[in-house]
Amino acid sequence: MHIYPDAQAVARALRPDEPVILNRPHAARRAARFFVDKFPGKVLYAVKSNPAPDLIEVLWDAGVTHYDVASIAEVRLVRAALPDATLCFMHPIKTPSAIREAYFKHGVKTFSLDSVEELEKIVEACRNPETGEAARDLRLCVRLRVSSEYSELSLASKFGCDLLEAPALLQEVRQHCDWLGICFHVGSQAMTPFAFVQALDRTRAAIAEASVVIDMIDVGGGFPSIYPGMEPPPLEDYFQIIHQHFYALPIAYNAELWCEPGRALCAEYSSMIVKVEKRRGNELYINDGAYGALYDAAHVAWRFPVEALEDDLRDAKEDFAFYGPTCDDADYMAGPFALPGDIQAGDFIEIGMLGAYGAAMKTGFNGFGEAEVVIVEDEPMMSMFDGSRVRVDSDNVVSLR
Ligand SMILES: *Cc1c(COP(=O)(O)O)cnc(C)c1O
């Protein structure tokens, strides 16, 4: 893969008619080292946020040994890239054939579930096909439903058993495994560490009611990255509060603490160069959009940082909205995106912080979606890991600006 110093050098060299994805392996390495060194437990990478094999190898080299996978295709992909990685199948609804292949062919022992039906499915799928004996090495995690109220994207309504169901399910699951965990997801881009406090409080209530031994607590993903208008407290605040509340839980003395960051590990990994095809007032028609890497910009009005890549733009910045390349009216991104007032058709823009749920979302709809991929060596446009996030010394920190 070609290496350039920065986006401007790429735009000058290629004058690209199609979008170009710019990867920063050094930024992903820094994020992974930060989590591995500072999170007070085991760090799993949530593969769905960006399944690029190059990225997965960078994370592995930086010390991430465990991977949260949610489909048999993700199991195969990570196993092919990393023969020695530990894979954990954390989607609470799986097909029997996916469970069987994961367990027997790829050595997956850890599965999550949120119902008795799923427990039965896992137990049956992992039975020895010759002797009919039940598997003795299953590691099962019960997914609890927790509140998403402190996060930008909810993951609260779809999965997880509620507090009324959890005790009976935990007792039932305990009969089928020697290692029992509880997992949850507070929602993506949790803007305050308090999101994890309320989830751990609920976890405490479930354990107390069930009176079973718990071997692992998995606080899931939700660790934030940084975007215009979304500047969270430093990740150390999250780690500290999680650590404190984990130690107060009534769990086995040697219980493990896990987390499953997706966004926080890879958001800074990629940006993208797009070309302005047309300008209509303060709307720019660009060559990526709702069906490409800008899915979240269109569907949940996410504001990504932008930078014009031309030298000859002199006007002050103004607010712009974007249209993507497809023929669909929904291919629209309200922003606002601040760019020089004299930007025009033919100019190139770098859109930052697209490593998570950006590059991974590209489709071929309407014949668009091709993108060259290159490596750049400069800093990402924004960062949680460059020492610029200031610690706030108080409990239950909320610092929304
Ligand atoms: C999506 C997902 C993650 C990663 O979430 P982020 O908000 O990107 O950190 C982790 N665990 C599970 C089970 C998920 O579905």
DSSP secondary structure of 192-244:
STHHHHHHHHHHHHHHHHHT----EEE--S-----BTTB-PPPHHHHHHHHHH
What is the pLDDT confidence band of residue 150, given thresholds at 50, 70 and 90?
Answer: confident
Of 68, 141, 258, 384, the one to substitute when testing ligand 1's pocket (max ligand atoms within 8 A of C-beta) is 68
3-state helix, strand, coil split of the chain in percent (to 5) is: 30, 25, 45
What is the pLDDT confidence band of residue 1, given thresholds at 50, 70 and 90?
Answer: confident
Residues 151-199 pLDDT 10s: 888 877 789 999 999 999 999 999 999 999 999 999 999 999 999 999 9
Q: What is the CATH number of domain 25-266?
A: 3.20.20.10
Read off the amino acid at residue 120.
E
Residues 226-262 pLDDT 10s: 999 999 999 999 999 999 999 999 998 899 999 999 9
Lowest mean pLDDT among 59-73, 97-111, 273-287, 366-380: 366-380
Give the binding-site residues of ligand 1, using a 6 Å CB cut-off: 46, 48-49, 68, 90, 185, 188, 220-223, 260-264, 356
Q: Which atom of ligand 1 is nearest to the CA of 189?
A: 7
Class of the domain covering 3-22+268-376: mainly beta
Q: Taking CA 46 as the corner, what is the angle to CA 41 and CA 48, rounded to the nearest 5 degrees?
A: 175
Average pLDDT, the chain: 94
Euclidean distance between CA atoms 203 and 360, whole angstroms: 32
Backbone angles phi, psi at 301, to 5 degrees: 50, 35
| Residues 300/54, Cβ–Cβ less than 8 Å | no
Q: Which residue has the tokens 């820094």?
A: 30
Residue ranges of alpha helices (H) inside 225-302 are 235-247, 263-266, 295-299
pTM (2 d.p.): 0.95
Measured from the Cβ of residue 117, the count of other Cβ atoms closer than 10 Å reads: 10
- The answer to whether residue 349 scores a pLDDT higher than 90 is yes
Give, as one character, the DSSP assignment of residue 143.
Answer: E
pLDDT of residue 244: 96
Q: Which atom of ligand 1 is nearest to the CA of 90?
A: 13
What is the pLDDT confidence band of residue 396, given thresholds at 50, 70 and 90?
Answer: very low
Residue 382 tokens, joined:
């924004």
- Between the CA of 17 and the centroid of ligand 1 the distance, in Å, is 34
Q: Point out which residues pair with 43 in neighbouring strands.
A: 259
Euclidean distance between CA atoms 255 and 181, whole angstroms: 9
Euclidean distance between CA atoms 201 and 211, whole angstroms: 15
- The answer to whether residue 390 scores a pLDDT higher than 80 is no
Residue range 101-118: average pLDDT?
98
Chain centre to alpha carbon of residue 306? 21
What is the pLDDT confidence band of residue 401, given thresholds at 50, 70 and 90?
Answer: very low
- Between the CA of 86 and the centroid of ligand 1 the distance, in Å, is 17
Higher local confidence (pLDDT), 149 or 296:
296
- Between the CA of 186 and the centroid of ligand 1 the distance, in Å, is 9
What is the pLDDT confidence band of residue 121, given thresholds at 50, 70 and 90?
Answer: very high
Pairing mode, if any, of strands 317-323 and 348-351? unpaired
Q: Which residue has the tokens 């803007």?
A: 191
Domain ranges of the chain: 3-22+268-376, 25-266
Lowest mean pLDDT among 53-57, 62-66, 149-153, 199-203: 149-153
Of 44, 111, 185, 225, the one to substitute when testing ligand 1's pocket (max ligand atoms within 8 A of C-beta) is 185
